[in-house]
Amino acid sequence: MIAEPASGARNERNEWLLSELTRPEAYARPVGRIEARRTLISLLFFAGERVYKLKQALELGFIDSTTLEQRRFLCEEEVRLNARLAPGVHLGIVSIRRGPDGHLVIGGAGDGEIVEYAVEMVRLPAELMLARLLEHGVIDNAQMNALAKLLAEFHRAAPTGPGIDEFGTPAGIGVSIEENFEQLAPFVEHVTAGPQPTLAILTATQHAFLRVRARGFLAQQRELLLRRVAAGRIREGHGDLHAENVCGMPGGFVIYDRIEFNRRFRCLDVANDLAFLAMDLDSRGYPGFAAYLAWRYGEESGDHEIALLLSFYKGYRAVVRAKVAALSTRASGLTREASEELRRESMRYLQLALGYELPPALVLLAGLPATGKTFLATHLARPLRAAVFHSDERRKRLAGIAAETSARADWGQGLYTSESKQRTYRSLLDDAVRTLRTGRSAVVDASFARREFRRPFVDAAARLGVPYCFVQVHASEEVVRARMTARAVSGGASDADFETYLHARAAFEALDEVPGGHVLRLDTSAGAAEDLAARVFDRLIELEGRTDSRTPSRAECRQAHDLRR
């Protein structure tokens, strides 16, 4: 038996609780194997048909659960608050006592010392969580309609007025925004704060850009935000509305895990509550469902100002998720791999937030075969919500053959003649221009080996008044060979082999005609995709600062598009 750690040793206490409560003998009802999970705020134990949720002893500014009585109160609040959207799921509070043998026992009768409390919950089917249903392709607009109606009804009946409204004012929103950026500050590049070393998650450029944009929105939209307060749009909502907290049960959606630990986080503009789920759908690769859900919610609620606020609040929510992942890297017992995954998760959310604020841009991935163009294009597409156009796929589509069908030929022959290349680049340019005109970013993945292929894209960006950037990727020969070997097994649209690579290298014309600020050179031989993407985002921020001040941001483009619908 592990002895209970001294008071105040939070990490050691968590390890003690994890050790004790993963014992089947700790439970009053028969259970098999116990699965434990840890979040920033809680410890969860999945035991048969039940889940037991404990609050960690924390003081993080936005939560204070350092005493046993505070943690009991939070458990009581969780049960109370979740009754509306998750009836019958949160069964009540159980005590965790010290048994006669010194081990902990959860639930049941007894007179041993109470050392902790837990919320007892019904275990919902993992395969019915909205996140899984989306992955399995079984969600359609009918379910989005039902979800929009449920949320509109919930918000309509939720409390509003004094004690709630102040959280939706510009000043109230500003408190949460500033808190987010203060708590992210230790994770900027290689800054460290306090006794704990931190991982680099965002650059100073990104931190400053997002903070300035958030402050600017509050100042510019002050009248709109105050009008929302007067109209009763600030409600005691959910506060943690994402796809892992929504379960598609046979009788309808169940939404659980309403925030209990800080009233400020659940008393909010209904657009803020909705934006969390919309952002989460964006982050999972379902922007169509995100837009449709927001539109249907507006129809159900009669709130047609949603479009004016959604991008701002989605960005805010992405920053919140980034902050939670960043703070979670400090948890005890994490492997290096788990900590690195949390770091990358935080970066993905931050890059999504940047995508909401940056104007539509033309990103051109240039370079030799197997240097990482397609890889990077894919990782840029989601946070930018960009359309991606691949030259390898386009070339074969124009020839009427499937992307996976080999069209390998000698250098400059077959589908790789000068005429075929010209036709491919013209087609890519046409689609990129059409995309940019809708207010959406375009990412083009092609070699761009010759100046004659690059010039039309530069000219089009100038005509449209959008930022553009050539990202010239390169990698070592060793890495290129390894990638080509792997690609020969997995397949794909590219026909290039190492001989092709050597020919392409000899024929590649330097990008010296493109202004330096519009060219970013990246070595993709090593490093996480998120780190490479971060450099692209830094360059896009720099380019955005150079554009005419009248160029609309992505949020403004989307607002205009949504209002035209």
Of 90-94, 144-148, 514-518, 548-552, the poorest mean pLDDT is in: 548-552
Confidence of residue 165 (pLDDT cuts 50, 70, 90): very high
CA-to-CA dists, residue 432 to 335, 478, 547, angstroms: 43, 33, 19
Judged against a pLDDT cut of 70, whether residue 480 lies above it is answered with yes
Confidence of residue 498 (pLDDT cuts 50, 70, 90): confident
Judged against a pLDDT cut of 60, whether residue 205 lies above it is answered with yes
List pLDDT tens digits, range 275-334: 999 999 999 999 999 999 999 999 999 999 999 999 999 999 999 999 999 999 987 778
Q: What does the alpha-carbon distance between residue 189 and residue 48 come to, in Å, rounded to a whole number?
A: 43
Confidence of residue 4 (pLDDT cuts 50, 70, 90): low
Judged against a pLDDT cut of 70, whether residue 197 lies above it is answered with no
Which pLDDT value is given to residue 8?
47
Domain boundaries, the chain: 10-123, 130-351, 359-564
Confidence of residue 554 (pLDDT cuts 50, 70, 90): low
Q: Which architecture characterizes domain 130-351 according to CATH?
A: Alpha-Beta Complex (3.90)
Write out the DSSP string of 379-435: HHHHHHT-EEEEHHHHHHHHTT--TTS----STT-GGGSHHHHHHHHHHHHHHHHHH
Which pLDDT value is given to residue 513?
95
CB pairs under 8 A, 24+ apart, for 26-31?
26/103, 26/104, 26/105, 26/106, 27/105, 27/106, 27/107, 28/105, 28/106, 28/107, 28/108, 29/107
List pLDDT tens digits, range 228-258: 999 999 999 999 999 999 999 999 999 999 9
8 A C-beta contact, residue 52 and residue 119: yes
Domain spanning 359-564: CATH 3.30.2320.80 = no
List pLDDT tens digits, range 97-113: 998 888 999 987 777 88
Judged against a pLDDT cut of 70, whether residue 563 lies above it is answered with no
Q: What does the alpha-carbon distance between residue 408 and residue 414 come to, in Å, rounded to a whole number?
A: 8
Mean pLDDT, rounded, of the chain:
90
User: Percentage of the chain with pLDDT > 70?
Assistant: 92
Three-state secondary structure readout of 183-196: HHHHHECCCCECCE
Q: What does the alpha-carbon distance between residue 437 and residue 527 come to, in Å, rounded to a whole number?
A: 34
Which pLDDT value is given to residue 553?
54
Tokens of 418: 């000068």
Find the mean pLDDT for residues 359-374. Answer: 95
Question: Which residues fall within 8 angstroms of residue 537, CB to CB, at 6 or more apart?
Answer: 206, 351, 354, 358, 383
Judged against a pLDDT cut of 60, whether residue 489 lies above it is answered with yes
Judged against a pLDDT cut of 60, whether residue 190 lies above it is answered with no
Judged against a pLDDT cut of 80, whether residue 195 lies above it is answered with no
User: Percentage of the chain with pLDDT > 90?
Assistant: 74
Of 189-193, 431-435, 544-548, the poorest mean pLDDT is in: 189-193
Find the mean pLDDT for residues 203-218. Answer: 97
List pLDDT tens digits, range 502-517: 999 999 999 999 988 9
